[in-house]
Structure 1
């Protein structure tokens, strides 16, 4: 492919495989080629869908992906809460909140968990989260992305602005679970039994996908689809490789 030391691939989903509900031209075929040579994990910061919902959506578009090949920020957040024997107060969508229902029997609630809550970002709920933080709870950001490309092909505000608002109001810094967290990338690599230096990250987000993966020790490839913008190449962040789309990866 690019480097004989590469043994595995991490691949972002939204903006790399599809935009809206339409596959990137050539992405389905490209994925077949990549999976024929490398172990692959599909990683996403989406906090609106569980891994099962992500797989169902991708399969409906024609992608051949198994549920155990997908790692979401919600998966890692649940693992974090279990390891800390705690449940959370969730600023998430209703579907994402239901993903944590099996933790409801845990008595300890030591964390405020925030992701893209969409209509659930009400003042009442944000203020409740603020008061819990003032009372000693800690803040977990499932992801802190600034924006994403929505189903109407326009950019929409992601959870990052709301995370920053709670950080500013409470004086506490969020613990970020998803990309660009080093722990997220290293967990994804370990699930394929490879070291970070043996793995290539394919993404469309210059900060979360490219810089985050580089800082975790991975090689990176930036695609010019999804949320990519020309000014990304002027940010000072230099991916190892650049392609017009995943279909153009040799």
Structure 2
């Protein structure tokens, strides 16, 4: 079985061949390094032989065996450099909080950038872990800010949690804010057999968490709408539900089932109905782990924005790193538009 090794984004003097990698056209570009010219880029590849066996669209592999630079070394491992990949983009998933808005304030230029993206043939869906308010309240807030986002364009972890409750006929203890309870109207909460945790500052107190703790110890399912560590408010960073879920996990010895990002099932469900495979979609968000890392684990390309909860160095927290790091959502959109125009990604930001 052909082995694929990693490669770094670097200039190379080697001329290789063309390869099709799960729908991506890959070709190595040869160039002698020189100041200010010959920028090349690529994607990290680290696939096991079982993945290769199952994905029959992997046709061939760049073969440097006849190359004077690499001699007969097998793909030169860390030295397979300077690849340019063409990637078809059919859909863009966009995070909300921290990416296009912070509470009731828009990220500057976000509306205009979204309008530019909508003028293409790319389908757009908004994916959010927001669990502090109902979908109707969230949609109303977005409309009041002038985003022009349709309700059915929003894929929410809160709505996904409601679907799970209905499918399993759960009777949850709802650790949710009152503003979010609208999405759980008519749900039977008597004699709970599950604990559902969202972002609920009003319930993150000793008595409420002790009740949840006792239920889980007695066998109730522990379900986290998401395990976000923190998020950006207008007055600064604030704790998300993740630390409180982790406390319940620690105390009970149980692992929570996570519904929202970075769950692979969440990203796949978000792509349902968009007519594309994960490899044909891009995720834009401010959370390196949950937005970008989770998306890239499924096969999407991830773009990290330096707004919202972003902190310097976040791009180094995940492997592989983001395909691109942008200062803001408008710059991220420009990156996507450049890919659509050129048929290939722009150079990744390594800063």
For this structure pair, what is the TM-score category when the shorter chain's length is used for normalisation? over 0.9
SS in 1 for 2:119: helix
Following superposition of structure 1 onto structure 2, how do residues 129-168 of structure 1 map, counting pairs within 5 Å? 129-152=212-235, 154-168=236-250
- 2:329 aligns to what? 246
Selected match of 2:309 from 227, 235, 243: 227
Distance 1:36 1:179, change over 3 A: same
**How much does 1:247 deviate?**
1.0
How big is the alpha-carbon RMSD for the aligned residues of Structure 1 and Structure 2?
1.6
Unpaired segments ≥5 residues, structure 1 = none
SS in 2 for 1:139: strand
Task: Give, in whole Å, the separation in 2 of the partners of 1:36 and 1:82.
Answer: 37
Q: Does 1:71 align with 2:173?
A: no
**Residue deviations 1:135-155 (CA, integer Å, cap 9, x gap):** 111100001000000132x00
TM-score, normalised via structure 2 length: 0.68
Following superposition of structure 1 onto structure 2, how do residues 80-119 of structure 1 map, counting pairs within 5 Å? 80-104=164-188, 109-119=192-202
2-11 or 37-46, which deviates more? 2-11
**How much does 1:234 deviate?**
2.9
Distance 1:23 1:15, change over 3 A: same
Bigger Cα Rg: 2
**Residue deviations 1:205-237 (CA, integer Å, cap 9, x gap):** 000001111111111111111111112133244
| Conserved? CA contact 2:87–2:280, under 8 Å | no
Unpaired segments ≥5 residues, structure 2 = 1-84, 335-351
Task: Give, in whole Å, the separation in 2 of the partners of 1:193 and 1:134.
Answer: 43
Distance 1:98 1:122, change over 3 A: farther
**How much does 1:108 deviate?**
7.5
- 1:170 aligns to what? 252
**How much does 1:87 deviate?**
2.5
Q: Does 1:204 align with 2:286?
A: yes
SS in 1 for 2:207: helix
SS in 2 for 1:99: helix
| Conserved? CA contact 1:51–1:71, under 8 Å | no
TM-score, normalised via structure 1 length: 0.94
Distance 1:140 1:39, change over 3 A: same
Task: Give, in whole Å, the separation in 1 of the partners of 2:297 and 2:252.
Answer: 28
Task: Give, in whole Å, the separation in 1 of the partners of 2:275 and 2:186.
Answer: 29
Q: Does 1:33 align with 2:124?
A: no
Following superposition of structure 1 onto structure 2, how do residues 54-65 of structure 1 map, counting pairs within 5 Å? 54-65=138-149
| Conserved? CA contact 1:200–1:221, under 8 Å | yes
Selected match of 1:184 from 252, 266, 280: 266
**How much does 1:62 deviate?**
1.3
SS in 2 for 1:120: coil
Task: Give, in whole Å, the separation in 1 of the partners of 2:318 and 2:157.
Answer: 26
| Conserved? CA contact 2:293–2:318, under 8 Å | no
- 2:130 aligns to what? 46
Instruction: Report the count of equivalent residues.
Output: 247
Task: Give, in whole Å, the separation in 2 of the partners of 1:236 and 1:170.
Answer: 29
Q: Indicate the structure with greater helix content.
A: 1
**Residue deviations 1:46-88 (CA, integer Å, cap 9, x gap):** 1101221111111111111000000111000011111112231
Task: Give, in whole Å, the separation in 1 of the partners of 2:217 and 2:246.
Answer: 15
